[in-house]
Structure 1
């Protein structure tokens, strides 16, 4: 099976989108050198037909895992089932498992849209724009069902990882997790997860939510000669560093893992019909001099 791709460029970087594969980014590279700025995806990765093999994908209408077989809404319980073969829990919503449509595009921008009925009716849109090495992504969801529902958003970029990769991202606390990557308690930041100052990625397996983020981060790839400045309006990021893999994920999200079952549903937004919720992510490529 083949998938159509859409190419954007700004003279400095080139973005390849795969609308039919969950509205995902396949690749983002530097034009002059071919340097991948997201985990590179080849033709085989595209043919696999899953965004989990690509560079970045949208999380809507929630991020990460939900326990207890669903969650409560003002007009009743929304039952959910597992949506992947490697997790017993529903994960990352449904937008990433459906094909998106190209609504409009130019040489350096594109608007993708998804009209979803799963697990309830909503419209999702992603607007991509490249400007002088800056990739801006705006993800928006609009509720379409008659009954109000709790919504959350996120973006799931995969970045190249080497022994020299460093991260700076200030946060206040971290959610400790059990073996199923479900949150157990909020704690102070241990040294290996304290990125107030630039440091190497943790060697221990990491799949945790960091709370009280100031919305600014920086990835430094000194050997490859570039940095990425990251900004978002979100106050939470998820850091996923699987052991012995050449990638890691830094995910801005609107809510912590399983917030649907935390008191007050922190970070989630209750949307009535035709109300919207949005999230932005900016990634700025800069050569190191």
Structure 2
């Protein structure tokens, strides 16, 4: 099927999502009552992080007994996976749902398939992703990297969440392995939420948006003036080394996040 931009719609209030398969399978736009919630541009929107999330130290990870080397696309590290840089295939489209697939290939050392389902409702967007192994088992991670506009209708977003801990960040921007009490922002940090990710963005008088997931890890990045990023993921940065999730031909890795909103 064509890789042109896909538009999904749902509900009488005009929820609209744009999906760009050829631009890394990203969500390129989300409109609620005419308000665009995502920062625009080919690097922004919301892109899938797979088969790893955030930075992998020195681009290296242990794959069984083998040390693998990934391209250093954020020297000295490898960042955010490979799928955001590739073209995805459109498997199925309906009015309010799209299914995309991506074949894992070089520089990732194992063949496999990623499937992403984008499902829009009147007051929510649900993203589901899975990684399947064709032959060999391998470690992997799944996550999403949305760039939400900091300012909507002239008001700035307020960020509310109650993590159990914050991963201490070293000078190389990677977790040191120590956990601390949550500290004030601005952040480019990973937090643990053992009961599941639950983060609320509120633009007072405009909109409330909740980002939830059954996963227990979230990276919050709000060091830019233009955007706030809330990134649910299946493990912390450098997780291919510190908290690997094994994908086997019998057991795919799956994750889901839901964004739900209400007008204020």
Q: What is the TM-score normalised by the length of structure 1?
A: 0.82
* Shift >4 Å, 4+ stretches: none
Q: Aligned match of 1:166 in 146, 158, 165?
A: 158
CA distance in 2, matches of 1:213, 1:87: 31
> Does structure 1 conserve the Cα–Cα contact (< 8 Å) formed by 2:214 and 2:256?
yes
Matches within 5 A, 1:222-241: 222-223=204-205, 225-241=206-222
> Does structure 2 conserve the Cα–Cα contact (< 8 Å) formed by 1:75 and 1:147?
no
> Does structure 2 conserve the Cα–Cα contact (< 8 Å) formed by 1:74 and 1:148?
no
CA distance in 2, matches of 1:122, 1:283: 28
* Change over 3 Å in CA distance of 1:175–1:141 after alignment to 2: same
Greater fraction of residues in strand: 2
- Structure 1 residue 217 displacement after superposition: 2.0
- Structure 1 residue 95 displacement after superposition: 1.0
* Change over 3 Å in CA distance of 1:110–1:238 after alignment to 2: same
Matches within 5 A, 1:208-287: 208-214=189-195, 215-223=197-205, 225-243=206-224, 245-262=225-242, 265=243, 268-287=244-263
- Structure 1 residue 57 displacement after superposition: 0.6
- Structure 1 residue 274 displacement after superposition: 4.9
Query: What residue ranges of structure 2 are gaps of 5+ in the alignment?
Result: none
In the alignment, which residue of structure 2 is the partner of 1:7? 7
Matches within 5 A, 1:131-210: 131-144=121-134, 146-162=135-151, 164-184=156-176, 185-190=178-183, 192=184, 202=185, 204=186, 206-210=187-191
Give the count of matched residue pairs: 253
In the alignment, which residue of structure 2 is the partner of 1:95? 83
Q: What is the TM-score normalised by the length of structure 2?
A: 0.89
The 3-state SS of whatever aligns with 2:258 is: strand
